[in-house]
Amino acid sequence: MAECWDSGVGFSWTPAVAEAARRGQSLGTLIRVFPAHPANAVKAIYSIADGPDREVRGSPLGIDPASGAQIFTLALPDPPPGAELVWRPVLMRSGRSIDPKQKGIAPERVASASPPSSDAPTSPVTPSHPARFPLEPVFLFRVTAPVYPDDDPVGETPDGLRLLFALRDGGTVRGPGLNGDILHKGGDWMRVRPDGVGVCAIDALIRIPDRGIVQTEYNGLVDFGPDGYAQLARGGSPRRAPLRFAPRYLTAVPELKWINRLQCFSVGEVDLERHIVEYDLYAFGPIDRTPG
């Protein structure tokens, strides 16, 4: 069991994730925080196969009556075959962060689980409640959208914390479905709930070279974490936050009118240090691209 302490506050964690990976189970570990405090929160910073750092939040399990430790659980992604997961836990408390990396403690490393033998018998699994309507997600494009930080926020209102992230120059849409540039108009009028979830209301225009304009308006969620509301209210923020959007598109361009019929969804994250929103955009197929 590894541990990290700073000025009387610390935590320990079990490297049992490696054993879980060998058993083919989901990766997970327990974090024990001393002393217990309502402001305590934990996260894991991880990378897979030397990729970029990403974060996952821990879930509280309660107080251990024997030791008085506050218990959290962390669920980590399974590394793909042949890849390695490198991770470390971080304790956060009232704006303070205790990171084992800053203490010179080596991160945990988890190799991917060995794939099952090709000789092992397999049998299909029949779901007890199969879906009734088939769904075919189709990747259309990736979005990169720089935004301005909100230097003049409306602030805390009876309806939540209100922020505006206006679009900057340099936004792009690139992919097999659409290629264009996001105009320096529009933005995200966001309401952050007390639980740290941002409810978005986004309007933007995409210029398609030599064709015309595609309008998009949609909403969705950005998860700033359990202490995200307090951080944003103080003028701070986490480094990154995952997002899930449900975009819709409208255009008068004849050869692009197929996009008017779509309900899309996106998966990505917002980098709050560089103030860049990045996500991949999918639609539910099949898609009829016959010009309107």
C-alpha–C-alpha distance, residues 48 and 85, integer Å: 5
Does the pLDDT at position 123 exceed 80?
Answer: no
CB 215 within 8 A of CB 249: yes
Give the pLDDT mean for 121-138: 64
In tens, the pLDDT along 40-90 reads 999 999 998 888 888 888 888 888 877 888 998 888 887 788 888 899 999
Question: Can you give the pTM of this predicted structure?
Answer: 0.57
At 292 the pLDDT is 60
Tokens of 69: 């430790």
C-alpha–C-alpha distance, residues 75 and 61, integer Å: 13
Give the pLDDT mean for 249-273: 94
At 75 the pLDDT is 82
Q: Specify the domain boundaries for CATH 2.40.160.20 within the chain.
A: 136-285
Burial class (CB in 10 A: 0-12, 13-18, 19+), 248: middle
Q: Specify the domain boundaries for CATH 2.60.40.2440 within the chain.
A: 2-111
Q: Which CATH class is domain 136-285?
A: mainly beta
At 117 the pLDDT is 53
Match 């409810």 to its residue by tokens. 199
* Fold that domain 2-111 belongs to in CATH: Immunoglobulin-like (2.60.40)
